């Protein structure tokens, strides 16, 4: 027998000298680097770097706690964009013997780190500075400098936000914005949108705090604004951490893709029933699928092998994001018995109308 019908890899055959696929997983991951997400991350990096420098100068000149919080916020965002670009680059590394499915989850790991940094550094420093200024108020000097820097920062952040929103919007299909965020498999795309949205809100809060402090003569409003900025950053960080964690742990692929693969498998000659499927999202454009198929009892091993090969070809052409496909020949009764016994090796994906929020939960 030329191959093993029980285990099937979608993609080019491995290089016999190295055991690595000639393209396969690497080509799937490269789709990330070619997407509009990278452009959005670069735009955010350049904008945040310029804005952070201006805010630190303004904070030093004016003594504003809200401005210092905003400066730290922009600096953290700059570091975050660097980490996201690093994660994208790492996720494109070629699969090897130690990582046969590639390095796609590096992207999810660094996205989770970014969420932690927003909470620990962005929200933490802002809260510390805000509490200090509420307990020990300090008059604001040169408010004109604050307003000028905030206005420039709002323009830069607004441009970055628009670029990131367009890049994310291009991937949401006919979904609503919130549902698209919850279902997204591309953390950099929605992280930049949330970072820029938090930055715009933070700028408005800093301006409001400065205005209140000047109008009332009570400098504690400056500290209050810093605390509000900390709360915004903490909320965004928790939300991003929850989404990134779900992907890092191994989230299913889009249920619509699972249904499409099952439908394709059911149409292969010699397949009696496509029993069930499980999918794992390795990277934004890298999915591993495992199928339970019931073949006609009279088929011999070479015929099963041919059926699996035909399934591979159809999946490869129609759904290039599927980088690996594993087939388990299993009768309908055996598959049902396995599920009733509580087996998890072939648990079917939930229906397509079930939202990702159900699987990600609140933790």
Total domains present in the chain: 2
User: In 3D, which of 200, 196, 204 has the Cα closest to residue 164?
Assistant: 196
CB neighbour burial string for 194-226, b if at least 16 within 10 angstroms, e if fewer? bbbbbbbbbbebbbebbebbbeeeebbbbbbbb
Kindly state whether residue 9 falls inside one of the protein's structural domains. no
Q: How far is CA 146 from the centre of its chain?
A: 34
**pTM, full prediction:** 0.79
Q: In what order do the strands lie in the sheet with 271-283?
A: 271-283, 286-295, 322-329
Q: Per the structure block, which two tokens stand in for 156?
A: 């830069």
User: Is-contact 81 163, C-beta < 8 A?
Assistant: no
Determine the pLDDT at residue 4: 42
Q: Can you give the residue range of the structural domain that contains 92? A: 35-250
The confidence score (pLDDT) of residue 76 equals 92
Q: Is residue 282 part of a domain?
A: yes
The answer as to whether 27 is a domain residue is no
Which pLDDT score, from 0 to 100, does residue 26 have?
39
Residue 53: C-alpha distances to residues 23, 62, 149, 229, 238 (Å): 42, 14, 10, 19, 27
Q: Which residue among 183, 217, 250 closes a domain?
A: 250
> Does 184 lie in the same domain as 153?
yes
Same domain, 101 and 226: yes
Q: Which residues contact 129 (CB under 8 A, 6 or more apart)?
A: 65, 68, 69, 72, 223, 226
For residue 15, how many other CB atoms are within 10 A of its CB?
10
* The pLDDT value given to residue 356: 47
Residues 224 and 268 in one domain: no
Same domain, 299 and 218: no
* Same domain (yes/no): 56, 151: yes
Question: Does some domain include residue 3?
Answer: no
- Residue 75: predicted pLDDT: 92
* Largest interatomic CA distance in the chain: 89
Residue positions counted in the chain? 363
SS3 269: coil
Per-residue pLDDT, 331:
81
Kindly state whether residue 264 falls inside one of the protein's structural domains. Answer: yes
User: CATH number for the domain including 144?
Assistant: 1.20.1510.10
Choose among 265, 315, 274, 314: nearest CA to 294.
274
Both tokens of 340, joined, read 């009733």
Quote the pLDDT of residue 289. Answer: 95
Q: Which residues of the chain have pLDDT under 70?
A: 1-36, 334-363
């Amino acid at each position: 027998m030329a191959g093993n019908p029980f285990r099937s890899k979608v993609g080019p055959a491995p290089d016999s000298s190295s055991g690595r696929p000639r393209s396969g997983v690497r080509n799937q991951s490269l789709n990330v680097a070619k997407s509009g997400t990278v452009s959005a991350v670069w735009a955010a990096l350049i904008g945040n770097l310029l804005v952070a420098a201006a805010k630190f100068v303004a904070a030093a000149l004016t003594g504003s706690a809200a401005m210092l919080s905003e400066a730290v916020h922009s600096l953290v965002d700059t570091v975050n964009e660097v980490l996201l670009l690093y994660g994208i680059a790492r996720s494109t590394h070629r699969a090897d013997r130690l990582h046969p499915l590639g390095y796609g989850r590096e992207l999810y790991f660094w996205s989770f780190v970014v969420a932690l940094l927003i909470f620990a550094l962005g929200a933490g420093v802002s809260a510390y500075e805000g509490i200090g200024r509420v307990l020990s108020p300090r008059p604001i000097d040169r408010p004109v400098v604050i307003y000028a820097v905030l206005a420039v920062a709002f323009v830069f952040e607004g441009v970055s936000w628009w670029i990131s929103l367009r890049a994310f919007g291009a991937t949401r299909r006919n979904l609503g914005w919130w549902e698209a965020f919850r279902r997204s498999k591309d953390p950099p795309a929605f992280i930049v949108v949330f970072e820029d949205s938090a930055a715009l809100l933070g700028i408005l809060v800093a301006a409001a705090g400065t205005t209140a402090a000047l109008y009332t003569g009570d400098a504690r409003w400056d500290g209050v604004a810093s605390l509000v900025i900390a709360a915004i950053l903490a909320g965004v960080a928790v939300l991003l951490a929850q989404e990134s964690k779900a992907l890092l742990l191994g989230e299913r692929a889009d249920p619509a893709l699972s249904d499409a693969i099952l439908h394709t498998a059911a149409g292969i000659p010699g397949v009696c029933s496509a029993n069930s499927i499980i999918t794992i999202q390795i990277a934004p454009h890298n999915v591993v699928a495992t199928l339970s198929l019931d073949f006609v009892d009279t088929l011999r091993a070479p015929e099963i092998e041919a059926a699996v090969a035909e399934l591979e070809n159809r999946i490869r052409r129609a759904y290039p994001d599927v980088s690996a496909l594993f087939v388990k020949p299993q009768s309908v009764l055996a598959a049902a018995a396995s599920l009733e016994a509580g087996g998890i090796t072939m648990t079917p994906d939930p229906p397509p109308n079930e939202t990702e929020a159900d699987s990600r939960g609140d933790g």
